[in-house]
Amino acid sequence: MLTLKQIKENTEAVIERLRKKQFEAREAINEVLNFDEIRRRSQQELDASLSRQKALAKEIGDLMKQGAKEQAESIRSQVALLKEASRSLEEKKAEAEAKIREILLSVPNLPADIVPEGATAEDNVCVKTGGEMPALDATAEPHWELAKDYDLID
């Protein structure tokens, strides 16, 4: 599976290499990059929200020590709102991550540089063969029929 790092660092090269095997990847790659931007933005906002929650929690503790319970309660309501916003950001981030994964699973791996262009097996080039193909007589059966006849598989 392609990685975000590969896509971000070599976007055009990835698209061109996938085009070798007749796979138009530009739309999928652009979607991945867009969802990654959403994911990163959500993570930054989430980090800021959690940092603010932590600061407010410390402030609540200080106010409680001073006996200012009313101020502490008003800050607690702010913390509750921040927690709700954090949950929403977590969901948004998780959705973006899921979409990225879904798209990346639909994109094939990059073909090696030596792979010729083409869409079918006939476009491939035989680099090396091993041994000779045996000549079978007309009564020869395929292996799946032999396995069934001799009860080798269910």
The class that CATH gives domain 4-117 is mainly alpha
pLDDT digits (tens, 9 = 90+) for 53-105: 999 999 999 988 898 888 888 999 999 999 999 999 999 999 999 999 999 99
Q: What is the mean pLDDT of the chain?
A: 93
Handedness of CA 55, 61, 63, 69 (dihedral sign): positive
pTM of the model: 0.75
Q: What is the share, in percent, of the chain residues with pLDDT greater than 90?
A: 67
Determine which helix (DSSP H) or strand (DSSP E) holds 29, and give its type and residue range: helix 26-66
